């Protein structure tokens, strides 16, 4: 196995292939196999009581989880990483590691809705106050920071509405006030947005999405810099929210091709986004690579690419017409995930839960996950959908 110094000189796609695996430890087999187990035997009482072994119990790690944790730490530029059973579990673990009763949390108004629900229930019950802020506030976040503000939570782009935040600017202000910055980086992954280089203390990824890549696993990853890592690891060890070994193995396998799949997802999605922009039924395309998308200048400055997820705003149409469009699609499934090989679409409306910003796009909003089907076939499917929409108006 090559050492970290050698790998640090390699390109990201090369490190993606080699990080977190050592065939010499697996009898020459290329991939680290699935280790299932709870009990780890110690050779002597001294070793048992001193916990001198590399592994001591299943909740503290196995060769399978260690392989992915080490690889993700390297790829993210972090001090350490832990694995949990889902993306939402990654969010909750990160917040629980940084907050206590009496603390103040600043949360972007464009956040993933289950994160908002966690803040309104568990964190509120634990005595943590959550205040939502305009995702485009940038360095203006300074005006909202209090003496007891411990965390500023960012998500770029925003869930469904796709605002790109000035994460480095927010981080500089937050750090000056002694607060930590947490970021949900699932859309870009470390390949398109290296979070810890950009000032993020704790980065969250739903491995369910692009890391798995095949819509067949649930996994969350949390990486941290030197400042935040000890507390994150301590909280993980106290709670033991362990990811399943089969899901970890599938994520390791998916990681080897993730960069290539991301690049293809980017190409496919940009093709489709430009096609949507030319449609008379479409009012607006919310894609960070488009100059009209809020925060495009920050995407251009801080990101290395874009993924396969974006939204469109339709021209005003009755709900029944939108339903006619979506219900008859053949190649776009309707489901609440993304990052797999298949194309998906969901309608959404942020108006009922946004509190710091108003959501009034002027038409029905649809979020599209572009898969690996031929884009000519996807466009033909949508052409028929738009025909149904027009007929139902």
Is residue 31 domain-shared with residue 132, that is, in the same domain?
yes
The residue segments making up the domain with residue 70 are 4-254
> pLDDT digits over 165-177, tens only?
999 999 999 999 9
Backbone phi and psi for residue 202, each to the nearest 5 degrees, phi listed first: -130, 125
Is residue 156 domain-shared with residue 230, that is, in the same domain?
yes
> pLDDT digits over 244-254, tens only?
999 999 999 99
Six-digit token string for 4: 């970290």
Kindly tell me the number of DSSP H helices and DSSP E strands found in the chain: 14, 11
Six-digit token string for 103: 């603390």
Is residue 42 domain-shared with residue 151, that is, in the same domain?
yes
Last residue in a domain, options 221, 254, 287: 254
Is residue 159 domain-shared with residue 233, that is, in the same domain?
yes
Strand partners, 181: 152
Minimal CA–CA distance to 286: which of 161, 118, 386? 161
Last residue in a domain, options 204, 237, 254: 254
Give me the number of domains the chain comprises. 2
Mean pLDDT to the nearest integer, 122-146: 98
Residue matched to tokens 């590691």:
97
CATH of residue 211: 3.40.640.10
Is residue 248 domain-shared with residue 137, that is, in the same domain?
yes
Is residue 272 domain-shared with residue 384, that is, in the same domain?
yes
Last residue in a domain, options 230, 254, 278: 254
Is residue 242 domain-shared with residue 268, that is, in the same domain?
no
CATH of residue 283: 3.90.1150.10
In the predicted model, what is the mean pLDDT of the chain? 95
Is residue 274 domain-shared with residue 249, that is, in the same domain?
no
Residue 9 binned pLDDT confidence (cut-offs 50, 70, 90) = confident
Residue 3 binned pLDDT confidence (cut-offs 50, 70, 90) = low
What stretches of 193-244 show up as alpha helix (H) in DSSP? 229-239
| pLDDT for the residue numbered 2 | 58
> pLDDT digits over 339-392, tens only?
999 999 999 999 999 999 999 999 999 999 999 999 999 999 999 999 999 999
Is residue 48 domain-shared with residue 107, that is, in the same domain?
yes
Is residue 76 domain-shared with residue 220, that is, in the same domain?
yes
Is residue 324 domain-shared with residue 350, that is, in the same domain?
yes
Is residue 112 domain-shared with residue 94, that is, in the same domain?
yes
| pLDDT for the residue numbered 283 | 98
Mean pLDDT to the nearest integer, 299-308: 98
Mean pLDDT to the nearest integer, 108-127: 97
């Amino acid at each position: 196995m090559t050492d970290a110094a050698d790998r640090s000189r390699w390109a990201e796609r090369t490190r993606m292939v080699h990080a977190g695996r050592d065939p010499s430890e697996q009898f020459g087999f290329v991939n680290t196999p699935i280790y299932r187990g709870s009990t780890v035997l110690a050779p002597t009482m001294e070793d048992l009581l001193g916990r001198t072994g590399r592994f001591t119990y299943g909740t503290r790690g196995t060769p399978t989880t260690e392989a992915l944790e080490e690889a993700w730490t390297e790829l993210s530029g972090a001090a350490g990483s832990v694995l949990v059973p889902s993306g939402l579990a990654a969010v909750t673990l990160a917040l629980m590691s940084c907050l206590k009763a009496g603390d103040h949390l600043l949360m972007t108004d464009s956040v993933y809705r289950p994160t908002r629900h966690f803040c309104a229930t568990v964190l509120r019950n634990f005595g943590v106050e959550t205040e939502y802020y305009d995702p485009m506030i940038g360095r203006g976040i300074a005006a909202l920071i209090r003496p007891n503000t411990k965390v500023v939570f960012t998500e770029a782009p925003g869930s469904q509405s796709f605002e790109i935040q000035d994460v480095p600017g927010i981080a500089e202000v937050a750090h000056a006030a002694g607060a930590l910055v947490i970021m949900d980086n699932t859309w870009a992954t470390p390949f398109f947005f290296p979070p810890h280089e950009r000032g993020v203390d704790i980065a969250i990824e739903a491995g369910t999405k692009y890391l798995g890549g095949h819509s067949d696993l649930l996994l969350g990853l949390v990486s941290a810099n030197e400042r935040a890592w000890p507390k994150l690891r301590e909280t993980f060890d106290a709670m033991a929210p362990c990811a399943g070994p089969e899901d970890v193995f599938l994520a390791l396998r998916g990681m080897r091709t993730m960069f290539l799949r991301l690049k293809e997802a980017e190409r496919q999605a940009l093709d489709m986004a430009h096609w949507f922009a030319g449609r008379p039924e479409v009012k607006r395309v919310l894609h960070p690579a488009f100059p009209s998308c809020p925060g495009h200048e920050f995407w251009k400055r801080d990101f290395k690419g874009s993924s396969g997820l974006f939204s469109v705003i339709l021209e005003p149409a009755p709900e029944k017409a939108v339903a006619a469009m979506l219900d008859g699609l053949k190649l776009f499934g309707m489901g609440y995930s993304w990052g797999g090989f298949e194309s998906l679409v969901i309608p959404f409306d942020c108006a009922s839960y946004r509190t710091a910003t108003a959501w009034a796009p002027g038409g029905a909003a649809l979020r599209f996950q572009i898969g690996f089907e031929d884009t000519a076939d996807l466009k033909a499917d949508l052409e028929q959908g738009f025909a149904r929409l027009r007929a139902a108006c």
